[in-house]
Amino acid sequence: MVASPQTEKFAAHLRMLKDRSGRGYDRLGKEAGVSGSSLHRYCSGLSVPTDYRVVHAFARVCGASAEELRELHRLWALADTDRDAPAATVKENPEREPPAAPDELAVPARTSAGPGDVTPSRITPEEIAHTPEATVRPHRSRWSERLSSRPAILAAVVAVVLVAGFVWLPVGSSAGDAPATGGGLLYSPACESVSMGQHDECVREVQSLLTRARGTLAVDGDFGPETLRRLTAFQVLAGLPATNVVDGATKKALYAQRVSMTTWSPAKVAQRIREVFVEDPDTAVSVARCASFLDPLYVLPNTNGSRNWGVFQISDARLRDLDGTPLRAFDPDWNIKAAHRLWSVRHDFHDWPSCEAALKSTPTSKPQGKR
């Protein structure tokens, strides 16, 4: 099993803490309340813990600082999202056989970065995209090449008529997913489907269009967790289903350039949080920074298919309780006020257990005589 780049970064951070502690996996595991073999898998990049509290406990016994805990939570969130995303499809390659599907995998539900209940899910081999996008074309026999030329001529005439019809379609009429004017790379056969795990010019085109819509992300041609987050936000803002893929409706909306992803700056978000959470403004800002990096359009998926939305990463379940929607959750003012309603139930941040754990004080004092 090859760890993803995000998982490897997360594992490297864990290894750094472990090596700095000078203790073995078994001893650290006993102090953190987890088995030594599990810690070894996490530090080796073989798996990602489904609950951040395990990571936090391990980091605490290793003497991690508050800043290191925040960075570790960020890396865990990225690695967890990378694990939850669908596997990349295998491009057709006549020189390489597609890998065999593994045995059925049981994926436990993780504790989300935001509030909400998460139920276990189970992934079968058929659901893991290890099969090629296109089946191998059958070998053409000489018999088929000797077929009469008359059907071929008729087919050519029909093709010419169809092409002519599409060329002369008036502006405003539609032909499937074809754009009304100009066209674009995403409408080419090579970009029929653009989804998580791809790395090509189709992805680069999607990223470029998202940045034109004022989305903030790198244009590197790599469809990773950040591109998925921005795509999901764009689809919601455009009034489209959040499908995780660049489908026909999303292509049209991207090229139409009628959706703006402009939102509040982190400084404005922090200011508004302090105005709403007058009882404990500093902790509230820290929780929001832990959950979303103060990004109003932040999205984090869960293993059961649900998502967390906005500044305080309010889950689908909590949105239903608050009479909200993903679109409303992207309104930072509504999101902050909704989070305050959740806080007001018990006057604490129990709805954000992972972030609340990360904010607890850590032992920072050093023994006398050591620097």
Please report the domains of the chain, with CATH numbers, ordered by start residue. Answer: 1-84 (1.10.260.40), 185-256 (1.10.101.10), 266-359 (1.10.530.10)
**Integer angstrom CA distances of residue 30 from 35, 41, 61:** 7, 16, 10
- Structure pTM? 0.57
Strand partners, 222: 199
Q: How far is 50 from 40, CA to CA, in rounded Å?
A: 15
E strand spans, 165-267: 194-195, 245-246
Structure tokens at 90: 């295998």
Strand partners, 260: none
Cβ atoms of residues 121 and 304 within 8 Å:
yes
Structure tokens at 358: 């990360």
Strand partners, 307: 301
Q: How far is 351 from 115, CA to CA, in rounded Å?
A: 5
Three-state SS string over 59-93 comes to HHHCCCCHHHHHHHHHHHHHHHHHHHCCCCCECCC
Q: How far is 260 from 211, CA to CA, in rounded Å?
A: 10
Structure tokens at 103: 């045995």
Q: What is the pLDDT of residue 357?
A: 76
Phi, psi of 149 (to 5 degrees): -75, -15
For the chain (length 371 residues), average pLDDT per consecutive 10? 82 92 88 84 88 81 83 82 51 40 37 41 38 37 42 48 38 36 82 93 97 95 93 98 95 97 97 97 95 95 88 96 96 98 95 81 43 39
Q: What is the pLDDT of residue 15?
A: 92
Q: What is the pLDDT of residue 276?
A: 98
Q: Is residue 352 helix, strand or coil?
A: coil
